[in-house]
Amino acid sequence: MGVVAYDFADLCWLLAGGVGPMEAVEGSATKPSPEAHLQRFASAHFPEAQKTPDAVLWRARDAFPTFETDFLARRGSE
């Protein structure tokens, strides 16, 4: 479990960069392979938000540093 994007635009650029949510959380993407059709989508809808997968992950983790602990704490209180 982990945060992978700040918003939908960043998620699109993460996927366009060839990194999926599982790879982002596990850090298992050794060499991302960009996805041309996802790059076209992200470019068409979010050209101003273009980022590398590393930049997407850095922004998300910086914005939500306690995501995992907050989620687990909330889940345990229900």
Pseudo-torsion of CA 43, 44, 48, 51, nearest 10°? -20
pLDDT digits (tens, 9 = 90+) for 33-66: 888 999 999 999 999 999 999 999 999 999 999 9
Selection from 67, 68, 53, 63 nearest residue 23 by Cα: 53
Does residue 28 have a pLDDT over 90? no
Instruction: Based on DSSP, count helices (H) and strands (E) in the chain, helices before strands.
Output: 5, 0
Q: How far apart are CA 59 and CA 47, in angstroms?
A: 17
Mean pLDDT in residue range 15-24: 93
